[in-house]
Amino acid sequence: MKEAGIPDGVYNVVHGFGGDSAGAFLTEHPQVDGFTFTGETGTGEVIMKAAAKGIRDISLELGGKNAGLVFADCDMDKAIEGTMRSAFANCGQVCLGTERVYVERSIFDEFVGRLKEAAEGLKIGPPDDAEANLGPLVSLKHREKVLSYYQKAVDDGATVVTGGGVPEMPEELAGGAWVQPTIWTGLPEDSAVITDEIFGPCVHVCPFDTEEEAIELANSLPYGLASAIWSENITRAHRVAGQIEAGIIWVNSWFLRDLRTPFGGSKQSGIGREGGVHSLEFYTEMKNICVKL
C-alpha cells in the first residue's frame, strides 16, 4: 500500500485473535463506522451483535457447505475436472469449494469411479514442487479438525471411496499438515460430515433421481454461498439455477468470476455483496442534496 502511494493511516493491519483481542476491540469501538468480515458464521453473528450498537454497516462473507449438481446430460469430462478443482483446490481450503455433490443415479457409478481415479492421480507435495497439485493444510491444528470429520464419516457408516487418512511423505516433509484427498458415499443427509463445513480436501457424493429432489437436497442446509450445476441442457441449467438458494451459481464451471459482478452469500452464508460498484456502495454513504433555486 505504501509503495503504491496510499497515505499513511488510510489502510491499517492489526493482528489479533477474536474475543478480548483486536477483533473484539475494533467491533466494539464506537468510532468504527462499518465492518466487512470473511470467516465463520458464528463469528459473523458476534460481529452483527456488536454492529447493532450504534447501527453500523456490515458486510459478511461467511461459511458454506456448497453443493454441486451433476445431471445425466452433463459433459462428464467437464463435470469431473470441475468437481476435482472445486473439491481439492488449495487442499479444500476454499470458501467456495464443493464438499457435497449430488449426481443423477443413471451416471452415479461412472461419476464416482472416474472421480476416484482422478483423486488418486493427484500428487501431494510442497508448493515449490512444480509437479505437485495438492499441498498441505494450513496447520496441524486444522488437520486435527479435518481428520476428526474423516473419523466421523466412518463412524456414521460412510463408504470410503478413496483417502480417509494421512499420506506417507518423505522424511523431510513428514511433519507437515498433510491429509489425503478423500471421497465418501453412503452417508445420511443429517450426518455432520454433510451438514458441517470441513474446509479440507474431501467430498461426499450422493445419487438423486429427479430434478426436484436435486434442488431440495442442494437447498437443505442453512448455508447459501455457492453452487455448481453440470448440465449441457441450458434450459434446465437456467431453471435449476433460479431455484438454488445461493449467492453465486456456476453452470459447467467453477470459480469463474468477473470481478465487476456481485459476490456474496445468502442465508447463513452472509449478508451484503462485494465486487465492482457493489463494493463502492458499501464503502461510501449515499447522500441526497436538494437545492431550491
Choosing from 74, 91, 95, 202, the catalytic residue is: 95
Is 260 domain-assigned?
no
Provide the CB-side half-sphere exposure for 83 (13 A, CA).
Answer: 33
Is 198 domain-assigned?
yes
Is 256 domain-assigned?
no
Share of the chain above pLDDT 70, in %: 100
Q: Which residues pair with 10 in a beta bridge?
A: none
What's the pLDDT score for residue 234? 97
Over residues 199-219, the mean pLDDT reads 98
What distance in Å separates the CA atoms of residue 166 and residue 159, rounded to the nearest whole number? 17
Is 20 domain-assigned?
no
Is 11 domain-assigned?
no
pLDDT digits (tens, 9 = 90+) for 86-108: 999 999 999 999 999 999 999 99
- Supply the range of the domain harboring residue 72: 66-251
Is 102 domain-assigned?
yes
- CA torsion angle 193 196 199 205 (round to 10): 40
Q: Which three-class secondary structure state does DSSP give residue 229?
A: strand
- Residue 156's pLDDT band (cuts 50, 70, 90): very high
Domain with residue 166: its CATH number is: 3.40.309.10
pLDDT digits (tens, 9 = 90+) for 25-80: 999 999 999 999 999 999 999 999 999 999 999 999 999 999 999 999 999 999 99
Cβ burial, residue 84 (10 Å; 0-12/13-18/19+): buried
- Known active-site residue 95: yes
Dihedral over Cα of 57, 96, 212, 183: its sign: negative
Is 43 domain-assigned?
no
Q: What is the mean pLDDT of the chain?
A: 96
Amino acid found at 241: A
Over residues 192-203, the mean pLDDT reads 98
- Known active-site residue 206: no
Is 164 domain-assigned?
yes
Number of domains in the chain: 1
Amino acid found at 4: A
User: Is residue 17 over pLDDT 90?
Assistant: no
Cβ burial, residue 219 (10 Å; 0-12/13-18/19+): middle
Whether this model's pTM surpasses 0.75: yes
